[in-house]
């Protein structure tokens, strides 16, 4: 296990987090860098200081030079980044203690395997943290799960593009989807989705998983894509060809500042009619024209 650390300002953390999550960060933590306490917070607001020490955990060691170059280009300023090896068992014991069952909507729970569901009669999905993105703790994933919980895809064909851990595909199945296809360009994500499907008593026939950079020869009534802005823009035509007329597309992984760019890319084929916000991240719900 490896930990990287860098000092940033309060206006830089979202961009840095997005890059680190794309690189596979297992967790990201923010800490006060200069003992500058925050005394007043709004409900649901993330406490931020003027100077922040950001730490991120990775399973494999990163090359610091390319990472530093990428972040400095995005932030347009120099950065100092440090890396250290940490004992995996110590990190796991500390971090896992803080993971608890999470409720979405009235009847859906995401539960780590070591926890008992608070409601045995609810829809309970088992998911442990692993190498692929998506446990329900990040706002973009939480927004997607909340949308599914409030809009169950009963008897609908669903595609989860950029499936990560498989949490959205598994959730869609247990909320009544008639078929679920899960795609990701990362073979590790495909492996994680298959493993998590098995943990939730699902077969390959119930959730089909494949490595893919785009969707070919498939159609659906609901398409979920929890990825970053540029892939969403690049794949717009591919998604338009995949979503059936009057079908839904659910886009997440977008910052509030990126909404206009996304809207411009999707307005030809989709009617954007609902936007949900969580900690500066957006979920966009649209209908295929």
- Compare 135 and 268 and report the one with higher pLDDT: 268
Per-residue confidence at 28, pLDDT binned at 50, 70, 90? confident
pLDDT digits (tens, 9 = 90+) for 238-288: 999 999 999 999 999 889 889 999 999 999 999 999 999 988 889 999 999
Q: Give the residue among 221, 214, 279, 220 at the shortest CA–CA distance from 252.
A: 279
Rounded Cα distance between 253 and 276, Å, is: 12
pLDDT of residue 263: 96
- How confident is the model over 215-222, as a mean pLDDT? 94
Average pLDDT, the chain: 84
- How confident is the model over 198-204, as a mean pLDDT? 89
> How far lies 223's CA from each of 13, 34, 182, 238, 261, in Å?
29, 44, 10, 11, 20
Per-residue confidence at 34, pLDDT binned at 50, 70, 90? low
Candidate from 15-24, 94-103, 112-121, 247-256 with smallest mean pLDDT = 94-103
pLDDT of residue 42: 38
Rounded Cα distance between 81 and 89, Å, is: 24
Q: Give the residue among 228, 195, 225, 227 at the shortest CA–CA distance from 209.
A: 195
- According to DSSP H, which parts of the chain are helical? 13-22, 64-75, 88-96, 139-150, 167-174, 187-199, 229-234, 236-242, 259-266
Per-residue confidence at 9, pLDDT binned at 50, 70, 90? confident
- Compare 164 and 47 and report the one with higher pLDDT: 164
Task: Work out the number of other CB atoms within 10 angstroms of the CB of residue 282.
Answer: 21
Percent of the chain with pLDDT over 70: 86
List domains and CATH numbers for the chain.
2-95 (3.30.70.120), 129-288 (3.40.50.150)
Task: Work out the number of other CB atoms within 10 angstroms of the CB of residue 121.
Answer: 7
- According to DSSP H, which parts of 76-115 are helical? 88-96
pLDDT of residue 112: 80
If you search the block for the tokens 């919980």, which residue do you land on? 149
Per-residue confidence at 211, pLDDT binned at 50, 70, 90? very high
């Amino acid at each position: 296990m490896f930990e990287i650390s860098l000092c940033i300002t309060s206006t830089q953390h979202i961009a840095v987090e997005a890059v680190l999550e794309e690189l596979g960060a297992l967790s990201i933590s923010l800490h006060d860098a200069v003992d500058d306490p925050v005394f007043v917070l709004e409900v649901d607001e993330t406490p931020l200081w003027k100077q922040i020490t950001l730490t991120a955990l990775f399973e494999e060691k990163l090359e610091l030079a390319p990472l530093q170059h990428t972040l400095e280009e995005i932030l347009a300023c120099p950065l100092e980044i440090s890396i250290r090896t940490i004992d995996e068992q110590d990190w796991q014991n500390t971090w896992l203690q803080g993971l608890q069952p999470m409720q979405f909507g009235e009847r859906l729970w995401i539960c780590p395997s070591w926890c008992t569901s608070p409601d045995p009669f609810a829809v309970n999905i088992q998911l442990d943290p692993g190498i692929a993105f998506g446990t329900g703790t990040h706002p973009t994933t939480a927004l997607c799960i909340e949308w599914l919980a409030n809009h169950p895809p009963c008897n609908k064909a669903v595609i989860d593009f950029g499936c990560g851990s498989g949490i959205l595909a598994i959730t869609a199945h247990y909320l009544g989807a008639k078929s679920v296809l899960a795609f990701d360009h990362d073979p590790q994500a495909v492996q994680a989705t298959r493993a998590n499907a098995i943990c939730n008593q699902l077969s390959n026939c119930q959730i089909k998983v494949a490595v893919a950079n785009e969707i070919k020869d498939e159609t659906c009534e609901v398409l979920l894509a929890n990825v970053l802005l540029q892939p969403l823009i690049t794949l717009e035509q591919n998604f338009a060809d995949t979503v059936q007329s009057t079908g839904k597309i659910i886009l997440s992984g977008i910052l509030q500042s990126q909404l206009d760019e996304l809207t411009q890319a999707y307005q030809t084929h989709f009617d954007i009619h609902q936007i949900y916000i969580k900690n500066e991240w957006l979920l966009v719900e649209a209908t295929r024209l």
